[in-house]
Amino acid sequence: METDRDDGRSPSQLRPLSCARNVLHRAHGSASWSQGDTKVLAAVYGPKAGTKKNENPEKACIEVIWKPKTGQIGKLEKEFEMILKRTLQSICILTLNPNTTTSIIVQVVNDDGALLVCAINAACAALVDAGIPMKHLAVAICCCLAEGGYVILDPTKLEEQKMRGFAYLVFPNSVVSVLPEGLSHVEGEPMEHGIITSVTHGVMSVEEYLKCLERGRAASTKLSDFLRRSLQSQLPSDSSKAA
């Protein structure tokens, strides 16, 4: 059932990842994230005093602004903003800085498939760079369902258009610190099996969705390792700057 992809990858092979933090000097935190030719820049400003209207002032408020590569934002971008906002809200510790707003500005540099996923990973790295308190990290992955029911990961734009359906999935990364038994397992499953965000397009059977979940989970471990490694490797430069 193996399939040849245009760029010669195996179905569950991701494109080359790269992540750089502290790329913008005026922002409180920033990161660029790329998966193959898809590249997204994220900047974090805040926490600033006060929350927006209709937000709970007893918690920190997260605001996401999506900047497309060209043109104005439409319904699609509004949906991306909402998904990003809800996803980031669920990984940040909102009770630590009540009545503040943290803005995350996401700038698309190039879109070659799996855009939302790339943006979530970038935003997550930028939040770490800005030192915003977080419960854990999140890793996002795009799973595509090709004709014949096999799953391919991290599609390019061309592949995305050919596919029958796809799912954007966000998982919590595996925690290395020691947690009480109840916290790291939810109903007997390790916590990194839970989904933070799921957005699907196209019709698929429930079994096919579960297959996507399983493949996505497997790949998210790799992604999460990469994220942790790239965040750690840049730590010394940060501390020298602080000194």
Partner 1 sequence: MGVPDASGDLSSEMEVDAFRHLFPLRYFERHLSESIRPDARPLGRARDTTLALGAVASAHGSALAKIGSTTMLAAIKMEVMIPSTESPDEGCIAIDFHMPPICSPIVRPGRPAEAAPVISKQLSDTISSSGMINLKELSLVSGKAAWMAYLDIYCLDADGALFDAALLSAVAAFSHLQIPIVSLNDDGKIVLVSEEDEGAKLEKEPVNKEKRKLKLSSIPFSLTCILHKNYILADPTAEEESIMETLVTVVLDSSARLVSFYKPGGSFLANTSAVQDCVALTRQRVKELQEILDEAISGMEID
List 101's β-bridge partners, or say none.
48, 61
3-state secondary structure of 215: helix
Instruction: Give 48-56 contacts, CB < 8 A, sequence gap 24+.
Output: 48/100, 48/101, 48/102, 48/103, 49/99, 49/100, 49/101, 50/99, 50/100, 50/101, 51/99, 51/100, 51/101, 52/101, 55/101
Give the total of residues touching partner 1 (CB under 8 A).
Answer: 40
85 near partner 1, rule: CB under 8 A: yes
Per CB under 8 A, which region of 97-105, 124-132, 184-192, 228-236 contacts partner 1?
184-192
Q: Check residue 69 for interaction with partner 1 (CB under 8 A).
A: no
Picking from 124, 54, 56, 133, the residue whose alpha carbon sits closest to that of residue 92 is 133
86 is a contact residue toward partner 1 (CB under 8 A): yes
Is omega for the bond preceding 16 within 30 degrees of 0, making it cis?
Answer: no
Question: 165, 175, 222, 226: which one contacts partner 1 (CB under 8 A)?
Answer: 165
Query: In this chain, which stretch among 31-39, 43-51, 76-84, 108-116 interacts with partner 1, using CB under 8 A?
Result: 76-84
Note whether 96 binds partner 1 by CB under 8 A.
Answer: no
* Amino acid at position 112, single letter: D
Q: How far is the CB of 214 from partner 1 (least distance, A)?
A: 8
Judged by CB under 8 A, does residue 93 bind partner 1?
no
End-to-end CA distance of the chain: 55
Neighbouring C-alpha atoms within 13 Å toward the C-beta of 67: 13
SS3 30: strand
User: Which one among 43, 208, 220, 231 touches partner 1, defined by CB under 8 A?
Assistant: 208
Kindly state whether residue 179 participates in binding partner 1, applying the rule CB under 8 A: no
Please pick, from the candidates 54, 70, 232, 240, the single residue that binds partner 1 as defined by CB under 8 A: 54
- Closer CB to partner 1, residue 84 or residue 130? 84
Query: Is residue 133 part of the contact set for partner 1 (CB under 8 A)?
Result: no
In Å, how far from its chain's centre is CA 86? 12
Q: Output the smallest distance, CB 139 to partner 1, in A.
A: 12
Residue 163 in contact with partner 1, rule: CB under 8 A: no
From candidates 213, 219, 223, 227, binder to partner 1 by CB under 8 A: 213
3-state secondary structure of 40: strand
Enumerate binding residues for partner 1 (CB under 8 A).
54, 75-76, 78-79, 82-83, 85-90, 165, 167, 171-172, 186-187, 189, 191-206, 208-210, 213
